Structure 1
Amino acid sequence: MNDRGITIALLGPLEVRQDGRPVRLAGGRVRTLLAVLAVSANDTVPVRRLASALWDEDLPVNVRRSVQTLVTRLRHGLGAHVVRTMPEGYRLDVEPDRVDVLRFRRLLTEAGRARGAAGERPLVAEALALWRGPPFESIESDWLRTAESAHLVESYLGALERRIDLDLAEGRHRELTAELLRLTAHHPLRESLWARLLVALGRCGRPAEALAGYERLRRRLDEELGIEPSAELRRIHASLLQARTP
């Protein structure tokens, strides 16, 4: 991708560049406005949705005028041609691939259509590389957190697990063990990550560590959620026990 035009990065702290140069946007609500428009780039975002993202339940008396004021400030920072006024709201005119959230989603869609690991893995890796931190990290908006962030994080973790599966299929279990230990420490109740860690440890000849990890997880799931490990984890656990039986 060339440096011409606007690029907007939301997977981490907000970063805006125009023709390769950083753009500084003053004001938290102006930044929130850009984020909401950017995740729907080239589509009209209704004024009411913008207002909900900008003010949550504490709406101003004149919603349309207040949104219009922020749009004017955003245009001052990006250029009047970038944000278009539409009959029902506003639209950000920018190529979707120049918004990292939209590029991330496109790459995962392409990866899902790819035939074979050789075509799929580079697309998944490219999508994951777009992440610099939590989505919308420097933007205050309950609407973005509930409507967008949680789904994006789940998509990220799913893509990460898919990349790990592809690496496991190629026999890279030794390389993956340290990464999976970090991931399970960061997401201690995510059973799908634990399943991959137990598999990797077992293939590395470290079944005792895998069994100890399973037991720690089992106790934590019981104490914090009142549930047993998933059927997949129980199956992996049984396989590890069987492999240790003389």
Structure 2
Amino acid sequence: MNPVRYRILGTTQAIRPDGTPVAVGGARLRALLTVLALRAGRTVPAGLLVEEVWSGDPPADAPGALQALVGRLRRVLGAEAVASAEGGYRLAAGPDAVDLHRFERLTGDGLRALADGDPAKAAVVLDDGLALWRDPALADLPDRTSEAARWEARRLDAVRGRHTAALALGHGEQSLPELSALCGEHPLDEPLQALRLRALRAAGRTAEALVAYDGIRRLLADRLGSDPGPELRSVHTELLSSGDPSPAAEPASAPVRAPAPAPGNLRARLTSFVGREGDIEVIRADLAGARLVTLLGP
């Protein structure tokens, strides 16, 4: 296997074993290397190479143009770097020689560690994977929208996993700045929003988290016409049950006794709130974050 390593999580690069970059000049040459590196170790049909390198606008002599481009790439990387195969070409490198494939392996390992209850290992492995990103993925492919979007989504999976590990390790407050920025970029991403609410609670900012939940609920209703999903509702329940340590919250105190009923021949009602403890907590949370709360119904 060719010892050169390849980077396609950003501008396409080839890196020698000693860490020095190989000059891969020309947009088409970098596009060809990107397509081959995406499928490292596998034969890529010539037709697919032409389609992706020339972005659906091939030259008149497409096979000849591709052959000439492959020749240029071999001169840059070494004759053995790109192998001819039946009907196409293959980058002579294993998947782990390409940063994108290493990222995918590390992300899978990290998320499995998280699922297995080992957040410390997950944090280390996911950090290693995320450190491979330099710029948007596949920057040198002419038409990279759908493929790049798939890898950006995978990167977000890794980021969510990393912050989940941080919360499990008691580092929720340190995660808050990045989580807040990410929620600004992806306001409808409910798992990210749930992580931000948990981080706020971990930082002792429960009242702020309850206000933020209400904002998310209204955003989902306005944009999607939907209610928060099960994960966000579960976090909301956790917030209500955890109490509000901020000064704005109503302090725990002895229950207020109702005035003695006027004499009469009807049996006095014991209380009007039997079984309504959950509703009372919701009202308390609303009172902590709003100037006016209106109750309707009996």
**1:228 partner SS:** coil
Aligned length: 240
Higher helix share: 1
Q: Check whether the contact 2:120–2:165 (CA below 8 A) recurs between aligned residues.
A: no
Distance 1:225 1:66, change over 3 A: farther
Quote the offset at 1:132 in angstroms: 1.5
Aligned to 1:136: 138
Aligned to 1:125: 127
Distance 1:174 1:111, change over 3 A: closer
Once residues 239 and 121 of structure 1 are traced to their aligned partners in structure 2, the CA distance between those partners, rounded to angstroms, is 24
| Equivalent of 1:18 in 16, 19, 38 | 16
**1:122 partner SS:** helix
Aligned AA (1:24): A
Once residues 112 and 229 of structure 1 are traced to their aligned partners in structure 2, the CA distance between those partners, rounded to angstroms, is 24
Once residues 203 and 111 of structure 1 are traced to their aligned partners in structure 2, the CA distance between those partners, rounded to angstroms, is 23
Aligned to 1:29: 28
For 1:49-60, list aligned pairs within 5 A: 49-60=48-59
**1:229 partner SS:** coil
Quote the offset at 1:43 in angstroms: 0.8
Aligned to 1:177: 176
For 1:70-219, list aligned pairs within 5 A: 70-114=69-113, 116-137=118-139, 139-142=140-143, 144-146=144-146, 148-219=147-218
- How much is the aligned-residue C-alpha RMSD, in angstroms? 2.1
Q: Deviations over 1:59-108 (max 9, x none)?
A: 33333222112111211211111011111200011232221001111222
Quote the offset at 1:235 in angstroms: 2.6
Q: Check whether the contact 2:34–2:141 (CA below 8 A) recurs between aligned residues.
A: no
In the alignment, structure 1 residue 5 sits paired with structure 2 residue 3: yes
In the alignment, structure 1 residue 65 sits paired with structure 2 residue 67: no
Aligned-pair identity (%):
38
Quote the offset at 1:112 in angstroms: 4.6
Once residues 60 and 216 of structure 2 are traced to their aligned partners in structure 1, the CA distance between those partners, rounded to angstroms, is 51
Quote the offset at 1:120 in angstroms: 3.1
After the TM superposition, which of the residue ranges 15-24 and 172-181 deviates more from structure 2? 15-24
Once residues 122 and 238 of structure 2 are traced to their aligned partners in structure 1, the CA distance between those partners, rounded to angstroms, is 29
Q: Deviations over 1:152-185 (max 9, x none)?
A: 1111111111121112112111111122112112
**1:13 partner SS:** coil
Once residues 234 and 205 of structure 2 are traced to their aligned partners in structure 1, the CA distance between those partners, rounded to angstroms, is 17
Aligned AA (1:205): G
Misfit runs of 4+, over 6 Å? none
Higher relative contact order (CA 8 A, sep 6+): 1
Once residues 81 and 210 of structure 2 are traced to their aligned partners in structure 1, the CA distance between those partners, rounded to angstroms, is 56
Larger Rg: 2
**1:56 partner SS:** coil
Aligned to 1:227: 226
Once residues 210 and 109 of structure 2 are traced to their aligned partners in structure 1, the CA distance between those partners, rounded to angstroms, is 37
TM-score (norm 2): 0.74
Distance 1:195 1:113, change over 3 A: closer
Quote the offset at 1:239 in angstroms: 3.2
Aligned AA (1:119): K
Aligned AA (1:5): P
Aligned AA (1:141): P
Quote the offset at 1:200 in angstroms: 1.1
